Structure 1
Amino acid sequence: MHTGSVSTKELSYICDSMKNEETLVKLCVHGAVESQNPQLKQFFYQLSHERFQDYNQLMNVLDHHSGQTQYS
């Protein structure tokens, strides 16, 4: 049964995932800026946007957990 709280191991995984997503966003933006091919440029910008959305979802999980910790 899951109580809704996030374990230390899960928090560590989320933090690692956020670092990975941040790296992917940076690499995709760099690829878009450096690309001379308009289709490839668009692909990298779209991919960076998707990765940034994933980063924000992970941040929301941490914010939610932080709010539970503060007010529980």
Structure 2
Amino acid sequence: MHTGSISTKELSYICDSLKNEETIVKLCVHGAVECQNPQLKQFFNHMSHERFQDFGQLMNVLDHHSQYS
């Protein structure tokens, strides 16, 4: 359901969130690669997948918005 356009402030927030999610994913992947502890490696892998999904959801919002702009 399309409820209106995204404001400039909202778009800025989404872009900042994308950058943050990208950074978190990179850090988690790096942690998983470098970590020797299997439990921590699993945790970092899990977190990188979750954060990547959040990144994808934000991209979908932007994509959906661009279809209506």
State TM-score, norm by structure 2.
Answer: 0.94
2:58 and 2:23 mapped to 1: Cα distance? Answer: 14
Matched residues in 2 for 1:13 and 1:4: separation? 17
* 2:62 equivalent in structure 1: 62
Q: What stretches of structure 1 of length at least 5 have no aligned partner?
A: none
Q: Which residue in 2 is equivalent to 1:41?
A: 41
Unaligned segments of structure 2, at least 5 residues: none
After superposition, give the CA deviation of every residue in 1:16-64 in whole Å (9 maximum; x if it has no partner): 0000000000000000000000110000000000000000000000000
Percent of aligned positions that are identical? 82
Greater gyration radius:
1
Work out the CA distance in 2 between the residues paired with 1:32 and 1:51.
Answer: 14
Q: Which amino acid aligns with 2:59?
A: M
